[in-house]
Structure formats: structure tokens, C-alpha cells
Copies of this chain bind each other. A is one copy, B any other.
Amino acid sequence: MFNAVDVFEAVAEPNRRHLLGLLAERDRTAGELVDSLPALTQPAVSRHLRVLREVGLVEVRPDGQRRIYALKPDGLQRIDDWITPYRRFWRDHLAALQQHLENR
């Protein structure tokens, strides 16, 4: 019924990356996050937070009638793991460039 979203798709959305950036600084209430995206309405931000929750990038804890969002430490690791094998490509490239500069 609902399409399961994966981490890559979650992170592809600029507004969601913005939210992650704020949560990297410190935990925030849903209200604070809504205020941080003035171009969007409250329900829009709420939906983005839902997506981030569902892929395990953030977690919520209730605080009275507020809801405090926090970054979940290992969520982005899946992307990092995926990138790892590719990392050597630009490392090699940079190394070759370095070599070239030294040898001229």
C-alpha cells in the first residue's frame, strides 16, 4: 500500500537534506524544523520527517505535546558503505595528478 522508501531516495530531496543538516547540529522539535523551512507548510515538513523516520535516518521522542527529533547515528552508514568501493577512483585520480605535478 505504501511504497517503501530507501535511504538514497530519502536523501535525494533537498529539503530533507536541509533537515538532516539542522539535526546534525542538535536535536530539534518538529516546530523548530517547520520554522526552518519557511517555503513549506507544516504538513509538508511533517511528511518529510515521516520519510526520514521510515528509513531510519532520524528518531523521535515525545516531550509533552512536542516531538523532539534526533539524528540516528547509523542511518547514513548504508550510503557510506555503498560509496566505499568507489572512493579509490578519485583517490587514484588525485594521486596521479599529484605525481604529475611533482615530476614536471
A interface, CB within 8 angstroms of B: 8-9, 11-12, 17, 20, 24, 71, 73-74, 76-77, 79-80, 82-83, 85-87, 89-90, 92-93
Contacts and interface: CB of A to CB of B under 8 A. Distances in A.
Given A79-B79, A93-B73, A93-B74, A86 B20 contact: yes
Copies in the complex: 2
A6 to B, nearest CB: 8
A33 to B, nearest CB: 17
26 contacts: A8-B8, A8-B11, A8-B12, A8-B17, A9-B12, A11-B12, A12-B12, A17-B82, A20-B86, A24-B85, A24-B86, A71-B86, A73-B89, A73-B90, A73-B92, A73-B93, A74-B90, A74-B93, A76-B83, A76-B87, A76-B89, A76-B90, A77-B90, A79-B79, A80-B87, A83-B83
Q: Which of A8, A76, A82, A85 has most chain B Cβ within 10 Å?
A: A8
Contacts of A24: 85-86, 89
